[in-house]
Amino acid sequence: MAELGFDGKVAIITGAGGGLGRQHALLLAKRGALVVVNDLGGAVDGTGSDKGAAEHVVDEIKALGGEAVADTNSVSTPEGGAAIVQTAIDAFGKVDIVINNAGILRDKAFHNMEPELMNPVFDVHLKGAFHVTRPAFVKMREQGYGRIISTSSAAGIFGNFGQTNYGAAKMGLVGFTRVLAVEGAKNNIKANVIAPLALTRMTENIMSGTMAEKIVPELISPIVAYLAHEDCDATGRIFSVGGGRVAEVFIGETPGYYKADLSLEDVRDHWDAITSRDGYQVPANLGDELKMFLPHFK
């Protein structure tokens, strides 16, 4: 089978000055995409900035014969998001792909979770995706084409100690993506989410041993690039990826229990029926889920 290429496609990758974003940028550029390498260049906790991070990756891409421009705006404000999309328009005339990847950490157990630990994490991960994707989505609607990949996390999808801020933002990106999938459908705009597992500066303190050796960042990029490709028609989906393993995560719903005059005791007495996963379904959107109620209302 022929290799997948991105000739002429314009991709914005946020937080691409290092870690996973750098790998996404290198892979897409090697396959012919014109890449906006965005990165504020701060520390893992989001403090500070350094223009060199994005510029260095652009130099790497150019050395490989690819085309890229650096952008050092922050995703965490509407102005920053608009400026990042404008960088793509100014350099390459359009935007086809947005990869929301920029991220920071401010972990703390919930009873110690102060607003200064919460707000910056929401600003970068969740609001950052809104700020960058919205102006890009406007352009994508006009051109009738777009691919949006946002970076979620198992910490939010499945839960992890000390990460209420991060987990909420990351699961927020699932809701964001599923609504974008619905709204983008008629304009050939597909939106998906990945939950990666890789050794980067973000995880180097918690990963060790064989697992750490196996989960190299470049193994995240193949699924990201596939979801960014025009041949891929997946939308509103979630993919877990790391160390060469890639799998789909889905949100399912049990058939449930029905009684027209449901009482508190009915819930207690039919708990097994309510929670039995036999015959579960995986609704693609709210309309799909409503169909699970309809048989009871005839």
Q: Pattern of binders to ligand NAI over 197-216, x per CB under 6 A?
A: xx-xxxx-------------
Choosing from 145, 166, 257, 258, the catalytic residue is: 166
In three-state secondary structure terms, 132 is helix
Strand ranges for the chain from DSSP E: 10-13, 34-38, 67-71, 97-100, 146-151, 189-197, 238-242, 245-249
Residue identified by tokens 């940028």 is 25
State in angstroms the smallest separation of the CB of 80 from ligand NAI. 7
Stretch that binds ligand NAI, among 40-48, 183-191, 251-259, 279-287 (CB under 6 A): 40-48
State the residue number with the nearest CB to ligand NAI: 19
Q: Are 88 and 36 in contact (CB under 8 A)?
A: yes
The answer to whether 99 contacts ligand NAI (rule: CB under 6 A) is no
The answer to whether 120 contacts ligand NAI (rule: CB under 6 A) is no
The answer to whether 167 contacts ligand NAI (rule: CB under 6 A) is no
- Residue of 126, 137, 124, 156 whose CA lies nearest to 38: 124
> How far is the C-alpha of 281 from the C-alpha of 277, rounded, in Å?
9
Q: Pattern of binders to ligand NAI over 131-160, x per CB under 6 A?
A: --------------------x-x-------
Please report, for residues 124, 126, 179, the alpha-carbon distance to residue 131 in angstroms, rounded to integers and kept in the order given. 9, 9, 16
Site for ligand NAI in 50-89 (CB under 6 A): 53, 74-76
Q: Is 166 a catalytic residue?
A: yes
Q: Are 145 and 230 in contact (CB under 8 A)?
A: yes
The answer to whether 14 contacts ligand NAI (rule: CB under 6 A) is yes
Beta-carbon contacts of 250 under 8 Å, excluding residues fewer than 6 positions away, are 237, 238, 282
The answer to whether 163 contacts ligand NAI (rule: CB under 6 A) is no
Q: Are 198 and 217 in contact (CB under 8 A)?
A: yes
Binding site for ligand NAI (CB under 6 A): 14-15, 17-21, 38-42, 44, 46, 53, 74-76, 101-104, 124, 128, 151, 153, 196-198, 200-203
For the annotated catalytic residues, the residue numbers are: 166
